[in-house]
């Protein structure tokens, strides 16, 4: 009797087993079908130890860049004396440096979108440190200008460090953390002024140049701690490398990736200059380019204007109380004094003033309104410089104005990195940065040439540009606050 029931019982058991296995197989297959994007992975990992390391290393590229740029301001009186230069020749040094910066910003951005942010950052840092070291051996004005222009070409690639920070940072932390990168720029600027104060009177300007190269050399050693951007890897179809990078970040942050597998993408067409001016981004690109131009024009114009106002304030006339030129003035020599270095440091420290409030302002008002407010305020304070002031009041105005023009740079950097998709992000930032260098190239002739003859005209010109940029910022078509970073270009009407 039992033997007659065995086949039926066995069949029922077999059917139940098959059903269970089929159910498990479906669940496993369903789990395998789960996917996630880099954006979702970055958000799931959150902010942690990796991002602190990222901020310290990539932020330090700002230290190196700031020292190379500020070097132009502190060294101007020295080379004017050594080679008996005219005002336009001194201004030409800064202009040629930013010409190299302008030409190579777009080139580095183009290659970064094709070969990776990390590689271009490494190459550009090697380039800038090499030519910076050579500058210290220049014995003629012509060689000095050429070698500094090569430094400008290399330094322009440092913006890839900011791109890497932006692409690794969770969305809710971008507005809070990225402005802190300005601290590194301010550290570099302040350090360069202090080094000039200590080194130039004793060892000379050539040793100042050599020591100013050291941060770039140190960066070459620590770059290996930061991987290539996972967003970039996915955009070129290298999903395996992107997954390894995300695993590394999750492990450092003691976090976990989402369940499933990273979405594999087709090899995306890389962005071109024509994508920046098509129907989706034309207005954004044009307005951003002019804002970048005005931001750099105001920032570097103020840095150089500060030097001129300290050397010989053209607004108040001769501050020495004597109309007789001394022997140094006849020889084109008018070196900075201790009080001048102190005022430069105080005005530079003014940039720190915005940092504690930057995250709150940017996140509360949004990118566009914040930029419009700081640009408009910059224009007003440029006008106030037209008033003949005591050194104390002049220092106060320069202190506040440095905070405002620095804020302009912080906000426009964040906005530009967020508004463009991954396939053209470096190209977009690089192209806008190139336009900024046009403003930086013009600034020396306004701050060091026009200011000495027509100071009111020069300062009013700086003010007018800032106010125009304020209007353009307020009317930007896209607000990026809280917006996911785009990986590819949206379809028409998809914004």
Specify the DSSP class assigned to residue 69. H
pLDDT the model gives residue 183: 87
pLDDT the model gives residue 351: 74
pLDDT band, residue 493 (cuts 50/70/90): very low
- Catalogue the E-assigned strands of 27-129: 35-36
Q: Determine the Cα–Cα distance for residues 184 and 186; give it in Å rounded to an integer.
A: 5
Judging by beta carbons within 10 Å of its beta carbon (0-12, 13-18, 19+), is residue 326 exposed, middle or buried? Answer: exposed
**Angle in degrees, CA 323, 326, 329, rounded to 5:** 100
Sketch the domain layout of the chain as residue ranges: 35-318+333-474
What is the four-CA torsion angle of 434, 440, 441, 443, rounded to 10 degrees? Answer: 160
Phi-psi region of 477 (alpha: psi -120 to 50; beta: other; left: phi over 0): alpha
Taking only the tens place, the pLDDT of each residue in 336-373 is: 777 778 777 877 777 777 777 777 888 889 999 999 99
Q: Determine the Cα–Cα distance for residues 481 and 478; give it in Å rounded to an integer.
A: 9
| Mean pLDDT for the stretch of residues 247-274 | 79
Q: Determine the Cα–Cα distance for residues 134 and 285; give it in Å rounded to an integer.
A: 37
Say if CB 201 and CB 366 are below 8 A apart.
no
End-to-end Cα distance, the chain: 75
Q: Determine the Cα–Cα distance for residues 150 and 129; give it in Å rounded to an integer.
A: 10
pLDDT the model gives residue 289: 94
pLDDT the model gives residue 451: 84
- pLDDT higher than 90, residue 252: yes
- pLDDT higher than 70, residue 278: yes
pLDDT band, residue 465 (cuts 50/70/90): very high
Q: Determine the Cα–Cα distance for residues 76 and 307; give it in Å rounded to an integer.
A: 9
| Mean pLDDT for the stretch of residues 172-191 | 86
**Angle in degrees, CA 480, 481, 484, rounded to 5:** 65
Query: Treating both helix axes as pointing N-terminal to C-terminal, what angle do 455-474 and 282-311 enclose, rounded to 10 degrees?
Result: 150
The top-scoring range by mean pLDDT among 16-20, 175-179, 190-194 is 190-194
Q: Determine the Cα–Cα distance for residues 130 and 150; give it in Å rounded to an integer.
A: 9
- The count of residues in the chain is 495
Judging by beta carbons within 10 Å of its beta carbon (0-12, 13-18, 19+), is residue 260 exposed, middle or buried? Answer: middle
* Structural tokens at position 317: 């006339």
Q: Which of 70, 187, 210, 190 is nearest to 132 (CA)?
A: 210
| Mean pLDDT for the stretch of residues 449-463 | 88
- pLDDT higher than 50, residue 129: yes
Q: Determine the Cα–Cα distance for residues 278 and 293; give it in Å rounded to an integer.
A: 21
pLDDT the model gives residue 325: 46
Q: Residue 2: which residues within 8 A CB-CB, separation 6 or more? A: none
- Catalogue the E-assigned strands of 345-466: none
* Structural tokens at position 436: 């900024």
Say if CB 208 and CB 77 are below 8 A apart.
no
* Structural tokens at position 127: 């380039």
* Structural tokens at position 377: 């305020």
pLDDT the model gives residue 321: 40
Between 377 and 39, name the one with better pLDDT.
377
pLDDT the model gives residue 137: 94
Say if CB 480 and CB 367 are below 8 A apart.
yes
At the top level of CATH, the class of 35-318+333-474 is mainly alpha
Residue 214, Cβ neighbours under 10 Å: how many?
A: 14
Q: Which of 148, 159, 126 is nearest to 69 (CA)?
A: 148
Say if CB 297 and CB 465 are below 8 A apart.
yes
3-class DSSP state of 353: helix
Q: Determine the Cα–Cα distance for residues 421 and 434; give it in Å rounded to an integer.
A: 19
| Mean pLDDT for the stretch of residues 294-310 | 83
pLDDT-wise least confident of 7-21, 33-47, 248-262, 452-466: 7-21
Q: Residue 239: which residues within 8 A CB-CB, separation 6 or more? A: 233, 262, 263, 264, 265
Say if CB 481 and CB 175 are below 8 A apart.
yes
Mind giving me the DSSP string for 5-24? HHHHHHHHHHHHHHHHHHHH
Q: Determine the Cα–Cα distance for residues 379 and 313; give it in Å rounded to an integer.
A: 20
């Amino acid at each position: 009797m039992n033997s007659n029931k065995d086949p039926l019982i066995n069949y029922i058991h077999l059917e139940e087993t098959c059903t269970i296995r089929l159910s498990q197989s479906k669940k496993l297959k369903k789990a395998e079908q789960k996917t996630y994007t880099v954006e979702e992975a970055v958000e799931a990992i959150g902010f942690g130890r990796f991002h602190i390391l990222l901020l310290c290393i990539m932020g330090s590229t700002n230290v190196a860049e700031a020292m190379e740029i500020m070097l132009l301001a502190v060294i101007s009186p020295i080379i004017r004396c050594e080679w008996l230069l005219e005002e336009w020749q001194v201004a030409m040094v800064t202009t040629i440096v930013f010409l190299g910066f302008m030409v190579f910003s777009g080139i580095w951005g183009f290659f970064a979108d094709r070969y990776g942010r990390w590689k271009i950052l490494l190459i550009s840092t090697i380039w800038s440190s090499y030519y910076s070291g050579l500058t210290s051996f220049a014995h003629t004005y012509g060689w000095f200008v050429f070698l500094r222009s090569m430094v400008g070409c290399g330094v322009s690639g440092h913006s890839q460090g900011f791109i890497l920070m932006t692409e690794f940072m969770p969305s809710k932390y971008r507005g809070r953390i990225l402005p802190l990168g300005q601290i590194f720029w301010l550290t570099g600027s302040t350090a360069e002024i202090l080094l000039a104060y200590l080194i130039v009177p004793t060892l000379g300007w050539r040793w100042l140049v050599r020591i100013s190269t050291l941060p770039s050399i140190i960066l070459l050693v620590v770059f290996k701690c930061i991987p290539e951007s996972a967003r970039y890897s996915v955009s070129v179809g290298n999903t395996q490398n992107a997954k390894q990078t995300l695993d590394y970040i999750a492990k450092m942050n003691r976090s976990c990736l989402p369940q499933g597998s990273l979405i594999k993408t087709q090899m995306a067409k890389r962005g071109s200059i024509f994508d920046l001016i098509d129907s989706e981004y034309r207005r954004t690109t044009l307005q951003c380019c002019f804002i970048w131009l005005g931001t750099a024009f105001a920032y570097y114009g103020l840095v150089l204007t500060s030097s001129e106002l300290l050397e010989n304030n053209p607004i108040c006339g001769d501050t020495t109380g004597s109309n007789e030129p001394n022997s140094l003035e006849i020889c084109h020599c008018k070196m900075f004094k201790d009080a001048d270095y102190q005022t430069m440091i105080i005005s530079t420290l003014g940039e720190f003033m915005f940092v504690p409030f930057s995250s709150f302002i940017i996140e509360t008002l949004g990118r566009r309104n914040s930029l419009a407010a700081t640009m408009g305020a910059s224009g007003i304070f440029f006008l106030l410089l037209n008033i003949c002031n005591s050194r104390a009041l002049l220092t106060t105005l320069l202190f506040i104005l440095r905070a405002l023009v620095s804020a302009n740079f912080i906000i426009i950097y964040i906005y530009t990195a967020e508004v463009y998709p991954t396939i053209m992000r470096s190209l977009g930032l690089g192209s806008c940065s190139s336009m900024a260098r046009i403003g930086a190239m013009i600034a020396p002739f306004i701050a060091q040439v026009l200011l000495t003859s027509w100071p009111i005209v020069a300062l009013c010109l700086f003010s007018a540009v800032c106010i125009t940029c304020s209007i353009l910022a307020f009317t930007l078509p896209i607000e990026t606050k809280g917006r996911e970073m785009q990986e590819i270009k949206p379809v028409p009407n998809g914004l």
